[in-house]
Amino acid sequence: MAVKNAVKSAVKEKVISKDFKEYIRDVNPDVGLDETIKRLTPEKIEKTIKAVIGGRSSRIKAVMNTCIHCGLCAEACQWYLSNDKDPTYAPVAKMRMTIWEMIKRNGKVDAEFIKQCARIVFTECNICHRCSMYCPYGLDITFIIGMVRRICFLLGVIPQRQLDQAQAHIVTLNQVWLSQNDWLDVLQWQEEEVGADFKDLRVPIDRDGAEVMWLPLGAEPKTGTYHIERTAKIMYAAGVNWTLPSKDVWDSSSMSMFVRDFVTMQRIVRGLYDNAARLRIKKMVLTE
Amino acid sequence: MLGYRELPFEVMQTGEFYYELLTSGRLKIDKSKKIKEPVTMQDPCNIIRRAGAAEKFRYIVNATCEDFRDMKPNREHNFCCNAGGGLAALSNWAAHKAKGNRVKAEQIQATGAKIVITPCHNCSTGIKDVIKIWNLGLKNMFFDQLLVNTMEIPEELKIV
């Protein structure tokens, strides 16, 4: 009960940004944001921002100078519409409060500012591309948001659960820390499960020259095994010659893409293609 | 490593593959098993807005359900489920996400559907949150569930 009350009282407090007085939000404790900013130094922040923006500053400046603040992107954003048209939720505001300010101050921003940026780009934007679609100048707002995500990622300031998945991808190339043993074990277990419903059903692993290589979402073998079971049934009923790879990479999701971890993104795609080449499949079917 | 330009294989989303199975007649739908309750579908941003699979997904839904009602706006103009972009992982921000999700709740409610079909895992998470927090009292269903429930099972595969 005491915990519940503590959570309630914490929620009543508001965070008011010291850089932007209009930016008022509920307190939402997250170790990934609150603790990690303590490690930052002004030099580190400036160095990271300059490294990421680097040669691309002209592309960002083109966006900054072209934007006429017409507000069409705001009307396209479900965050803005759902929060009673609070202007701080508008996509253009999300850019202004993050990368425009970083450029304006030449990278000289403090840790508290980085935390606010992380909150904006990681918890208030889905990179759904709707704002970019409605922008009359076709400005790629999601590219800018992604760039801010990369800055925050390199500084280690990411909401904890996203950071955990991103790190899982770095280490295991799947989002749930699943080892190859467990992966194979789950597939064989699923084969036994579905065997009760269908005659001679297989969950084929590493079948050479199969028509389809199906790749699940990382969470499926861990918490959603029924998806593997159902897919096996569909493939079997349709008579598809399908397979799953035994080796990494088998996870079709990529948190690395959401945090713009380019190195791991590349490792994931390379792993998927290597599996496809090794098994000489015709179609790669991905869940995500 | 393979080159990126001309891949020797096709890459597609599961829903797009199911569409192929249905149109080529490899997978048959049992008409008597079709879902009778009104359904609506969440258009996933990446697969619809960026990859343009809107009509293919509608084909699957119309093949398996009797009463399909589109959300407004729909197809590439649809709103995100609010779990995209890696936000699905943030379960400790659920209340914050739900607050920014009112548009979706209103959209779903306006269709009067009883089931929301979600072709993407992120959407599934997002829509579940919306249904729970805004008390919409709906079910959500995945494509694989939809097909397993309605497909014809060839006689020779059945266990008697």
Which pLDDT does position A12 carry in this prediction? 61
Least trusted range by pLDDT, from A149-153, B28-32, B82-86:
B82-86
**pLDDT above 90 for A74:** yes
**pLDDT above 80 for A55:** no
Summarised one tens digit per residue, pLDDT across range A86-102 is 999 999 999 999 999 99
Question: Nearest by CB to A230, which of B93, B144, B159?
Answer: B144
Question: Nearest by CB to B159, which of A26, A160, A199?
Answer: A199
To the nearest whole Å, the CA of A85 is away from the closest chain B CA by 11
Q: Could you tell me if A288 lies within 8 Å of chain B, comparing CB atoms?
A: yes
To the nearest whole Å, the CA of B95 is away from the closest chain A CA by 10
Beta bridge mates, B65: B35
Do B106 and A149 meet the contact criterion of CB atoms below 8 Å apart? no
- Distance between CA atoms of residues A89 and A77, nearest Å: 8
- Distance between CA atoms of residues A202 and A188, nearest Å: 9
Which pLDDT does position A2 carry in this prediction? 42
Chain A interface mutation, best of B11, B33, B121, B128, highest count of A Cβ atoms under 10 Å = B121
Domain coordinates of chain B in residue numbers? 36-157
- Nearest chain A residue to B24, by CA: A238
- Binning pLDDT at 50, 70 and 90, where does residue B1 land? very low
Q: Could you tell me if B123 lies within 8 Å of chain A, comparing CB atoms?
A: no
Burial B31-56 (b: 16+ CB within 10 A, else e): eeeebeeebbbbbbbbbbbeeebbeb
Summarised one tens digit per residue, pLDDT across range A233-287 is 999 999 999 999 999 899 999 999 999 999 999 999 999 999 999 999 999 999 8
Q: List A residues 143-202 in contact with B (Cβ-Cβ < 8 A).
A: 159-162, 164-165, 196-201
Q: Which two tokens stand for residue A220?
A: 């499926």
* A217 neighbourhood in chain B, CB within 8 Å: 121
Summarised one tens digit per residue, pLDDT across range A172-195 is 999 999 999 999 999 999 999 888
* B79 neighbourhood in chain A, CB within 8 Å: 78, 128, 130
Mean pLDDT, chain A, whole residue set: 91
Tell me yes or no: is domain A13-158 CATH 2.60.40. Answer: no
Q: What integer is the mean pLDDT of B122-139?
A: 91
CATH class of the structural domain B36-157: alpha beta
- On whether ipTM exceeds 0.95, the answer is no
Question: Nearest by CB to B93, which of A28, A237, A283?
Answer: A28
* A161 neighbourhood in chain B, CB within 8 Å: 89-92
**pLDDT above 50 for A4:** no
The Cα-based distances of B21 to A69, A74, A156, B15 in angstroms read 47, 40, 44, 10
Summarised one tens digit per residue, pLDDT across range B102-121 is 999 999 999 999 999 999 99
- Binning pLDDT at 50, 70 and 90, where does residue A120 land? very high
- DSSP tag of B100: T
Say which residue, B6 or B91, is predicted with more confidence.
B91
A212 prior amide bond cis, ω within 30: no
Domain coordinates of chain A in residue numbers? 13-158, 169-286
- Binning pLDDT at 50, 70 and 90, where does residue B99 land? confident
